[in-house]
Amino acid sequence: MKKIPVKKAVIPAAGLGTRFLPATKAIPKEMLPIVDIPTVQYIVEEAVQSGIEEILIITNSNKHCMENHFDKNYELEARLLESGKQAEADLIDRIAGLANIYYVRQKEPKGLGHAILCAKSFIGNEPFAVLLGDDVVINEGGKPALKQLIDAYEKMGASVVGVQQVEESQVHKYGIVAPSIHQFAEESRLKKLYDMVEKPNLKDAPSNLAVLGRYVLKPEIFDYLETQGAGTGGEIQLTDAIKRLMYAQTVYSYDFEGHRYDVGDKFGFIQATLDFALSREDLHDSVASYVKELAATL
């Protein structure tokens, strides 16, 4: 059977962002800038670089600024051009042309699984990608994390969840997978899944491989999301629905390459800000000398 290419992506960005209050009272965490680019723009760019053509962002009533960010702003562009700021005008214009971006509201924050279910009619009967709105992955010089998963999907024709190892002290924060240790030994990043647990205690965790914000899913996932009851934290969990999908059809995990930042977490946000600033030519020297100065006082 011919495999349908992965051309659509869903970015759920309707969470409450409680870990980042009070900043997230009026500004969605996906719009908090890492240096000078909002988090969600990095994620949209990763999707585009991975071959995605249409993106659905799941929003809530507090997220108008995201729509404005990806729209044209003729007035601002005209003002920038009038004052000779061509480079800045081009920068603004480029954002509006990044991809075809659509929005749908999740009326209540009932969990990630519920947010993905809101994408059902947009996706139809195609495989699709999911990129969490607060997980930024940088794979300097290599394939974007999502592209690695799409390649694995194309090879296996089955859903793929992106994973990476986390410290034992962190397993209680994530969906943790149990991959088969026997299969695909020759390509160790890709493994068949046989269990998944959402936010387990360390003693119940089947491994330290955590699901980290990137998925390629077959549309059958919607059948399971539609009937999925609330799980951990009283929320409809995507992990629980993927686990049920896994009983009906093969699902793989892919240990993707790249540095992942949880920018919905204060420390993750600070790490991303420092690393991104240090990797920028215009900021590297001043930030590095400040960090050294600071380190000497600690």
Residue 75: CB minimum distance to ligand UTP, A: 29
How many angstroms separate the CA atoms of 69 and 49, rounded? 19
Residue 168: CB minimum distance to ligand UTP, A: 21
Strands 209-217 and 135-138: unpaired
Q: Could you tell me the two tokens for 36?
A: 């000078």
Largest CA distance in the chain: 64
Residue 88: CB minimum distance to ligand UTP, A: 29
Q: Which residues of 80-119 are buried (b: 16+ CB within 10 A; e: fewer)?
A: beeeeeeeebeebbebeeeeebebbebeeebbbbbbbbbb
Residue 67: CB minimum distance to ligand UTP, A: 15
* Beta carbon nearer to ligand UTP, 60 or 180: 60
Residue 71: CB minimum distance to ligand UTP, A: 20
- Taken in order 200, 204, 205, 206, the sign of the CA dihedral is negative
* Beta carbon nearer to ligand UTP, 15 or 162: 15
* Beta carbon nearer to ligand UTP, 13 or 190: 13
Residue 12: CB minimum distance to ligand UTP, A: 3
* Beta carbon nearer to ligand UTP, 43 or 246: 43
Bridge partner list, 162: 254
**What DSSP designation does 234 have?**
G
DSSP state string for 241-270: HHHHHHHHS-EEEEE--SEEEETTSHHHHH
How many angstroms separate the CA atoms of 293 and 298, rounded? 9
* Beta carbon nearer to ligand UTP, 17 or 144: 17
Residue 13: CB minimum distance to ligand UTP, A: 5
Report whether the peptide linkage leading into residue 22 is cis, meaning its omega lies within 30 degrees of zero.
yes
* Beta carbon nearer to ligand UTP, 46 or 134: 134
Q: Is 142 helix (H, G, I), strand (E, B) or coil?
A: coil
Q: Which residue is nearest to ligand UTP (CB)?
A: 15
* Beta carbon nearer to ligand UTP, 89 or 236: 236
CA angle, corner 250, sides to 244 and 253, nearest 5?
Answer: 90
* Beta carbon nearer to ligand UTP, 14 or 190: 14
Residue 268: CB minimum distance to ligand UTP, A: 10
Binding stretches for ligand UTP (CB under 6 A): 12-19, 58, 106, 109-112, 114-115, 132-134, 264
Bridge partner list, 193: 179
How many angstroms separate the CA atoms of 290 and 261, rounded? 22
